[in-house]
Amino acid sequence: MIQPASKLNQLATSVFSDLAIQKRQKLQEEKELIDLSIGSPDLPPPLFVREVLAVESLNPSSYGYAIQSLQQFDAAVCRFYQQRYHVDVKESEVLQLLGSQDGLAHIALAYLEKGDVMIVPNPGYPIYSAAAHLAGAELYLLPVNEENNFMPDLSTIPKEIQEKAKLMILNYPGNPASALATEAYFEQVISFGLQHEIIIMHDFAYSELIFDNKKPLSIFSLPNAKKTAIEFNSLSKSFNMAGARVGYVLGDPEILKPLAIVKSHVDYGMFLPIQKAAIAALTSDGSFLQQHRAIYENRRNTFLEKLNEIGWHVRKPDGGMFVWAKIPAGFTSSHFTKAAIDHGVVVTPGHAFGSEGEGYVRIALVQEEEILQKAVTLLQPLLRGNVE
């Protein structure tokens, strides 16, 4: 039998595959499950976006290859960044992506080869590590945890890693740990990138889900950022367009050029009606985003209040759509996840995001408040140790 590439052996799919099997078994047993494991929005895009998509989908001229982004799309991104984050971006600094994960996966192919290093957060979104593995590069796992306020000291990175690293990725608000970075920290990150000639990749996919009247912080708000940093963003979480696969990356055109070359060989561009729907979203007045943020903030507050009632005190997320919850003593992440499924609630074990995630579970706020409250009630026996 012909064997697949050995690099696939390093891709961490087993946790998510096991989780899918457990869910399927419970559903086959006709068990009711509240699924809080996947960060897929449960709400639709705004009606005006869906209307544009519907109209443009009926246009017979919409079905050719797009090849590149529409100029109006690039202009809409620039307008969005200026209005939402007070950052000036040129159209030449915008590269359209089929979802931000598309760019995160392919940029490693554009920059890394055997012997190169990519610095990734631990815990972190799995594509970060997978991208380096697919490129045949090495990983340096940077611990990101409550002890360092989710802003690790970059000076602790060994000198040999600093010299070999080409890429470093950060994610604020984070996934799975929904924390925010400060301006002072981004200043340190930019200085680190310039000093060591490392491209800083900021994953800003949750930029519009920030709570408690805090302001979203683009890395490009800081001086000299464009000399070393690029920033990924997406309409998946901000406009509930996850399945449409709409994203983009911003940065100096010369830094983005290798990624653009890779993409020119692996896809033919975004479906034109989706581009036009995205343009409508990006150029809207912001009222939907305000309402959308309020929904998730209320979900967070309701869920944490209910957790506190049963004695499970977890860190309050600053943004995003996840609760990064330290599990009760006596459980491993896997054990707690299996027990939670047995009680009717699906969460993701923390170690799926890296070794620093052991002892935690990620809980997605992708259900209405009433269902989130029910989920807490179902989980309550685990806090008393009554695992069946």
Dihedral in degrees, nearest 10, Cα atoms 174, 179, 183, 184: -110
pTM listed for this prediction: 0.94
pLDDT of 363 above 80: yes
Q: CA 337 to CA 16: how far, in whole Å?
A: 12
Confidence at residue 383, expressed as pLDDT on a 0 to 100 scale: 82
In 3D, which of 141, 263, 257 has the Cα closest to residue 199?
257
Asked whether the beta carbons of 252 and 220 are under 8 A apart, the reply is no
Average pLDDT over residues 92-98: 98
34 forms bridges with which residues in the sheet?
A: 345
Q: CA 191 to CA 202: how far, in whole Å?
A: 14
Tokens of 47: 């009606």
Asked whether the beta carbons of 117 and 139 are under 8 A apart, the reply is yes
pLDDT tens-digit series, residues 190-245: 999 999 999 999 999 999 999 999 999 999 999 999 999 999 999 999 999 999 99
Considering the chain, what is the average pLDDT of its residues?
Answer: 94
Confidence at residue 14, expressed as pLDDT on a 0 to 100 scale: 60
Average pLDDT over residues 137-161: 95
pLDDT of 255 above 70: yes
Please tell me whether residue 145 adopts helix, strand or coil conformation. Answer: coil
Confidence at residue 386, expressed as pLDDT on a 0 to 100 scale: 46
Task: Kindly calculate the radius of gyration of the chain based on its CA atoms and give it in whole angstroms.
Answer: 21
Confidence at residue 387, expressed as pLDDT on a 0 to 100 scale: 43
Angle at 258 between CA 257 and CA 264, to 5 degrees: 85
CA distances from 275 to 1, 72, 259, 349 (A): 43, 9, 20, 35
Helices and strands of the chain, counted as H and E runs: 12, 12
pLDDT tens-digit series, residues 39-67: 899 999 999 999 999 999 999 999 999 98
- Domains belonging to the chain, first-starting first, are 6-44+287-383 (3.90.1150.10), 61-282 (3.40.640.10)
In 3D, which of 288, 304, 205, 207 has the Cα closest to residue 247?
205
